[in-house]
Amino acid sequence: MPRATIKDIANALTLSPSTVSRALADDPSINAETRRRVSETARRLGYRRNSLASSLRRGRTQSVGLVLSEFTSPFTCVVAEGILQYMYQRGVRVMSASSYYDPQRELSHLQMMEQSMVDGIIFLFSDPVTNYNEFRRLSESRFPMVFIGSYPDGLPVARITADVRNRAFFLFDHLLYQGYRRIAVIDTPPNIGLPGELIAAYRDALDKYHLDFDPRLTGTSFPTPADGIAVVNHLVREKIDFDCIVTYADYMAVGILMRLRELGFKVPEQVAMATLYGTPMSRLITPQLTTMETPLLDMGRLAAQMLLDQIDSPDMAPQHHFIDLRLKIRSSTVVGSSFETPFLVPWGTGRPTS
């Protein structure tokens, strides 16, 4: 059955389409009785307002894009939930897609969303190197964008990042203070996140304790359980001594812990485990993970707000927000303990309180 239109309502009431349109919009220039008749006839005919067409007439589609690195990790899921909550409260539709760390797939999603006339796009861990020229084109055209984590360096784009090097230092300081000396560190791949910052923080902490850096203990990987298993297999196969593993992703830690148990390692008695970007998963696995806890929902809400601000104010300067990380010490790094500490590093400070 064809969808009812404003013209159908107008014909049924012998009114002009413009009068019907104004009545449906509650225009006070149309008398109350006419508005009532139009409303009743619209319901009877099954008329539904075309919100997209109305938005396009105003130069907006009331929809935005969200391009994720992947859908499966707790990190991206919780950040995305924060974005969706904020957009839903403001009546904005969200078109989402995942690149699964494939820059060509990311580019295809970006172009599809642009063709769908979204008002702006949020990128969560994009590939800012491979797709730099496309991001530059969008930036030069003043297309609203917000980048979370990785971003195209040198372009004036709105972004949310974490002060990884300074904040992760406190995590490594805790581990070295506990006596761990052979810490394997798994950083983000070259084109994802803030590559090299976690390893740099590790080296800073080693310098504090006057310890030598062993490059065999460091590497990069994607944040999946399978990659976590591969990390442990590599360390064991290459006969690299290690007494602790630090990765940037809780999701990868699941694979690491599983493989350590399969090989007979006790955590933390023989090998400790910690992560950089803490998610709710860090409290749901055994042992609970020491982590730098991240306000993921707030990060998503902030990104959504920043994007809508750009859409509403096209001439505003791009914002850059730092997300703070808080050290949470749990039983994965403290032998014989099942406790969880208070926050050792309060929000917004650069020094531990104890």
Q: Per mean pLDDT, which range of 37-51, 101-115, 283-297, 337-351 is the poorest?
A: 337-351
Longest dimension (CA), the chain: 89
Residue 91 has pLDDT above 50, yes or no: yes
For 327, the 3-state DSSP assignment is strand
Q: CA 339, CA 264: separation in Å to the nearest integer?
A: 24
What per-residue confidence (pLDDT) applies to 304? 96
Residues 6+ apart with CB under 8 A from 73: 223, 224, 249, 250, 251, 279
What class is the 164-293 domain?
alpha beta
64: confidence class by pLDDT, cuts 50, 70, 90? very high
What per-residue confidence (pLDDT) applies to 351? 30
Domain boundaries along the sequence of the chain: 6-49, 63-162+297-323, 164-293
Cβ atoms of 272 and 337 within 8 Å: the answer is no
CATH topology for 63-162+297-323 is Rossmann fold (3.40.50)
pTM value surpassing 0.85: no
Residue with tokens 């760390």: 101
What per-residue confidence (pLDDT) applies to 24? 82
Among candidates 241, 182, 174, which has minimal Cα distance to 205?
A: 174
Cβ atoms of 134 and 290 within 8 Å: the answer is no
340: confidence class by pLDDT, cuts 50, 70, 90? low
In DSSP notation, 208-262 reads HTT----GGGEEE--SSHHHHHHHHHHHHHTT---SEEEEEEHHHHHHHHHHHHH
Q: What percent of the chain has pLDDT over 70?
A: 90
Residue 352 has pLDDT above 60, yes or no: no
Mean pLDDT value across residues 89-103? 91
Mean pLDDT value across residues 237-251? 95
267: confidence class by pLDDT, cuts 50, 70, 90? very high
* Strand order, beta sheet including 320-323: 93-98, 63-68, 121-124, 145-148, 158-162, 320-323
Residue 346 has pLDDT above 60, yes or no: no
Residue 49 has pLDDT above 70, yes or no: no
Q: Per mean pLDDT, which range of 67-71, 133-137, 273-277 is the poorest?
A: 67-71
Q: What percent of the chain has pLDDT over 90?
A: 57
Average pLDDT of the chain is 87
342: confidence class by pLDDT, cuts 50, 70, 90? very low
Beta bridge partners of 66: 96, 122
Measure Cα distances from 250 to 77, 154, 180, 336 in Å: 12, 30, 20, 22
What per-residue confidence (pLDDT) applies to 10? 87
What per-residue confidence (pLDDT) applies to 50? 60
For 63, the 3-state DSSP assignment is strand
| Strand locations in the chain (E) | 63-68, 93-98, 121-124, 145-148, 158-162, 183-187, 218-220, 244-249, 272-278, 290-293, 320-323, 326-328
Q: CA 305, CA 87: separation in Å to the nearest integer?
A: 8
Mean pLDDT value across residues 100-109? 91
Cβ atoms of 318 and 159 within 8 Å: the answer is yes
123: confidence class by pLDDT, cuts 50, 70, 90? very high
